[in-house]
Homo-oligomer: A and B are copies of this chain.
């Protein structure tokens, strides 16, 4: 499909989209100008939705210091507006998450944050453990996968079971999802630090 520079320019002028996006849209629309405009509109809406999903530029920095002062947690909890950041519900959520971090020592927020080399090392250990099991390879693979999931559940904050949950099996991500539903804004844990004396 050959798209002329003039067509790209016309579409840019009509939609305000970027040059590469216009070119891609024209290729996708097989040169049909109106169809290309529709494609760009849909993409634009999707981008906006995605942005809203990520738009947690407000929030609070919260800290919890254990009464013996030997364990402390610093947490950045984000939401979409300054208004929500000041609510009691939002502070209560920050407190619960901080207590969880103090008690359960997660190492990362989510599994995507675990470095590749850590995952590789864990896999190596699990595979080594199964070496003489005599189990077929696909079973070993499945077991290694399960163990790795367990590792994520133990070490990633969002996947940990909430230690003060009323209902057994409630994970930190469930706690946050509930808060999002209640508060009506997207909420995200950006980062945390946990210091312990003598660690």
Chain A interface residues (CB < 8 Å from chain B): 57-66, 69-76, 78, 85, 190-191, 193, 195-198
**A75 to B85 CA separation, bound complex (whole angstroms):** 24
Q: Which residues of B contact A75 (CB under 8 A)?
A: 195
Q: What are 29 A-B contacts with C-beta separation under 8 Å?
A: A57-B198, A58-B198, A59-B197, A60-B69, A60-B70, A60-B197, A61-B65, A61-B66, A61-B69, A61-B70, A61-B71, A61-B197, A62-B69, A63-B63, A63-B64, A63-B72, A63-B74, A69-B85, A72-B74, A73-B74, A74-B74, A75-B195, A76-B195, A76-B197, A78-B197, A190-B195, A191-B195, A193-B193, A193-B195
Q: Which residues of B contact A61 (CB under 8 A)?
A: 65-66, 69-72, 195-197
**A57 to B75 CA separation, bound complex (whole angstroms):** 25
Number of copies: 2
Q: Which residues of B contact A73 (CB under 8 A)?
A: 74
Given A61-B65, A63-B63, A69-B85, list of 18 further CB < 8 A pairs?
A: A57-B198, A59-B197, A60-B70, A60-B197, A61-B66, A61-B69, A61-B70, A61-B72, A61-B195, A61-B196, A62-B69, A63-B64, A63-B65, A63-B72, A72-B74, A76-B195, A76-B197, A190-B195
**A66 to B74 CA separation, bound complex (whole angstroms):** 13
